Structures are given as structure tokens and as C-alpha cells.
Amino acid sequence: MYIQRRFPFKSLVAWTIREIIFFACYASLATTLYFVLDIKWLQVPLPPVVLVGTAVAFLVGFQNNAAYDRIWEARKIWGGIVNTSRSFIITVKDSFHMHQNDQAKDETAELKIITNRHIAWLTALRYAMRSQKPWEANYDKIKQKKKAKFNYKIPEFDTPLEEELKPYLSEEEFNLVMSKNNKPNALINLQSEHLRKLTDQKKLWDFSLLSLQQMLQEMTALQGKTERIKNFPYPKQYASIGYHFVHIFMWILPLAIIPAFAKMGLDIEKVNPFIGEYFVWLNIPFTVIVIWVFNTMLRVGLVGENPFEGSPNDVPISNISRGITRDILEIIDEEKSNIPDPFENVNSIEM
């Protein structure tokens, strides 16, 4: 998915409102213990905490860069699938020997079979990318909470794969594909066999077959690349270390900021006794802001680790696949009534 418009600040706050409330309560509790109950030993020196915060910032920055690289690579892969799909159908369309009036019907039928099979490959691939992996901890949350919160639908979660594939395959091919574990790979294999058969029947030029086979190899490579991202998680030693270090920093930060504000209050009290006495309470908004920044950076990195789960900022593979489907059906001059509509983007969220 991808949120089309710029992510507004109020949405960012709404996204982390629970954490903000918790941080504010925690900072208020620590301040109450220090100021009201006079528990002065509940403090730590500020310089070590600053050093920890610097180290945590570098670690979270590294994690965010790595997560962004995964998202951007996934988007480039699906961009390659778009280009290769268009080129493949155009090449198939212009590679037939026939083109005579008495053979045009046969040519159109073969072209439609190949196009539908390619649409089936796109469909099977996007469903494979939406499948759940053990390390994708946000999967159930996305299906339940986030769908309700952002009010969007993920096609792969609502419609079974069988229902999507049936219109594009013969019964024999459908049964064969559904019996395989790697369904996109099975469809590529069927496509290759069909092209080889057409060449043996002298319906395609031999040189055209070589070009088309190269495109199938490119699609297989792109499929392998997107499967690599899907099947290999972001290394958990980095993700876990970042998560625990940020939380350690968030827990000890108020214990260092409160004494610093209390000391500043003593200096202010010489000029303005009232403000100086209660100045320590101003640590709460500053503490919340600092903790919120670190926590939000951590969450941004976490949601970007798996770019195909279905969160609002993932790669919009459903829309990309549907866009390719519409393009290649138009290339073969399919009737408009048979061309599926684009998926509806609710709340400007691409699926």
C-alpha cells in the first residue's frame, strides 16, 4: 500500500497517540515521585543518558535506512514487472506468422490465452507476496485493527486466490497450477511450453521465441527477487537490538531530565520564585517530545521491514498488478466491458 498524499502531522500524532499518552503519564509519575514525594534518589546523571541517546539515534537511523532500502528495492522490482509485462504482450502480439484474414481468429485466440495466463501469473504472484510469514508480526493487526482504523480493503485478504485465477485459466491449467506450491513458477512454465508449441507449429518465428524466452527469464528473475525480499526477513538481531535500546533510553530519560530541570528551577527561583518552584514540571512536555521522536523513528523502521504485508505504506502491488492487467488487455484490444476496473483507493491509500 502507499498513502498518496503527504503524511500530515496530525495523522502522525494520531498514529502514535497511545504512546504519547503513556509517555506523558510516565513522565508525570516520575516528576510526582521526585517533586511531591521528595524521592531525590530517583535520578541518573544526564551526560551518560545523552551518550546512550546518541548511540540509539545512530542505531535507529541504520535500521530505518535498511528498511527503506527493502521498500525501494521492492518497488523497483515491481516497476520491472510492469515494463517486462507490457513488452512481453506487445512482442507476442507482433510475432505471429499468421496475420492473414483466414488465420486472424486463431491468432487472436492464442494471444488471449497467453495474455490471460500472464494475468494469472501477476495474480498468483501478488497473492504469494501477501501470504503470512512467521516473522511478520503485524499481519493480524493489519487484517483487523488497521483495516478498521484507516478504512481500506486489501483484495488478497477478501477474495480467495482460486476465485481470482479461474477466469483466466482453462480447467486443466487451473487444476495443475493449484496443485503446485509455487503457483507463479508453474504459470511461467506453462507459458514457456505454450510458446514452444506455437513455434513448433510454425505460428511463431524462431527468433521471436528467443526474445520471448528472454522476457520469461526476466520475469522469473524478478519473481525470484521479490520472493527473496518476502522470504528473507530483516535480520532480527538488528531489529531487536534497536527496539530494546530505544525502550531502555525511553525509560531512563525522565530520570535524567527531571533533576536537570529542577536545577534550572533553582536558578530561576532567584528571579521569579513562583516559576522557579514549579519549573521542574516543564520537563514533562520536553520529555514526551524527545521520547516520541525516538519511538516514532523506531516504528517507522519497524513498519518498513516487510514491504508486502499490506500496511498503508507498503508497496502497492495490488494496484500495480491491476494496472498491468488493464494495460495488456488494452494492448490486445479487449472489449472495455471485459477490462476490470482499478481498485478503489479509500482514504487515498493505494493497495
Residues 6+ apart with CB under 8 A from 137: none
Cα 297 from Cα 191, distance rounded (Å): 45
The H or E element spanning position 325 is: helix 317-331
C-alpha cell at 308: 508486502
Q: Supply φ then ψ for residue 96, to 5 degrees.
A: -75, 145
C-alpha cell at 184: 507463479
Helix (H, G, I), strand (E, B) or coil at 69: helix
Q: Which of 226, 227, 27, 195 is nearest to 95 (CA)?
A: 195
C-alpha cell at 94: 507482433
Distances (CA, A) of 106 to 97, 99, 152, 186, 187: 11, 10, 42, 25, 22
Would you say 346 and 152 are in contact if contact means Cβ atoms under 8 Å apart? yes
According to the model, what pLDDT value does residue 3 have? 45
Half-sphere exposure of 116 (CA within 13 A, CB side): 17
According to the model, what pLDDT value does residue 54 have? 92
According to the model, what pLDDT value does residue 86 have? 95
Beta bridge partners of 350: 2
According to the model, what pLDDT value does residue 5 have? 44
According to the model, what pLDDT value does residue 80 have? 96
According to the model, what pLDDT value does residue 266 have? 87
Would you say 143 and 241 are in contact if contact means Cβ atoms under 8 Å apart? no
Q: What is the pLDDT along the chain (351 residues), one digit of tens a residue?
A: 444 444 566 767 777 888 899 999 999 999 999 888 888 888 888 889 999 999 999 989 988 898 899 999 999 999 999 999 999 999 998 877 555 555 556 778 899 999 999 999 999 999 999 988 877 765 455 455 455 555 677 888 888 999 999 999 999 999 999 999 999 999 999 999 999 999 888 888 888 889 999 999 999 999 999 999 999 888 877 778 888 899 999 999 999 999 999 889 888 888 888 888 888 899 999 999 999 999 988 888 887 788 888 877 788 999 999 999 999 999 998 899 889 988 877 766 777
C-alpha cell at 35: 517533586
Strand ranges, E, within the chain: 2-3, 349-350
Q: How many other CB atoms are found less than 10 A from the CB of residue 235? A: 12
